[in-house]
Structure 1
Amino acid sequence: MASLQELMAQRAALDQQIEETKNRDRSAAVAKVRSLMAEYGLSVSDLTGRTKGAAKPTGKVPAKYRNAATGETWSGRGLQPKWLKAALASGAKLQDFAV
C-alpha cells in the first residue's frame, strides 16, 4: 500500500499533466480557429455579431408607474423614487400608480 506522501506526489504529478494537456489542447484549438478565420476571412465581429467596442443597444424603458398629481413616472427598475416611497408609506398601494 502506498503512503500518503507517495499518493500526494502522484496527485501533484497528475495535476501537472492535466494542466499541461489542457494548455496544449487549448493552444491547438486556438490555432485551428485562427486558421479557419483566416481561410474564410472572418473577424471577431463576425463571430460576435457586434463591432469592436460597440455597446449593447439599450432603449428607454417605458414607465410602469405614474404620479397623477405631478406626472412623475417610474419604470419599476432601480430604487423607488421619493414620491412613490412617501405615498406607499402613507397607505397607498403600488397598483394605484400603475400606468
Structure 2
Amino acid sequence: MANYSELMAQAQALMAQAEQARKSELASVVAEIKAKMKQFGITVADLGGAGTKGAAKSKSKAPAKYKGPNGELWAGGPGRKPEWVRAVLASGKNIEDFRI
C-alpha cells in the first residue's frame, strides 16, 4: 500500500498530465471555433464578448491578498483559482501561508 507522500506525488503528476491534456484539447477547440467564425463571418461582438457595450471586465480591481512562490498575485475572490493556488493546495500546504 502506498504512503501519503507517494499518493500526493502521484496526484500531482496526474494533475500536471490532466492540465497538459486540457491545454492540448483547448488549442484544437479554439482552432475549430476560429474556423467556424471565419466560415460564417462571425465576430467577437456577435458573441457578446469583449469590445461590446456592457461587457464584463476580465481582470479584478481587488487588491492582492496572496503572493505565490514565484511572485504571482491573487485577490482570493470567487471563481476559478489560479494554477499556482491549486498546486499549493494539492501539495497539502495551507493557502494562508501565502497571505500578504
TM-score, normalised to structure 2, is 0.47
User: Which of 1 and 2 has higher RCO (CA within 8 Å, sep 6+)?
Assistant: 2
Q: Which has the larger radius of gyration?
A: 1
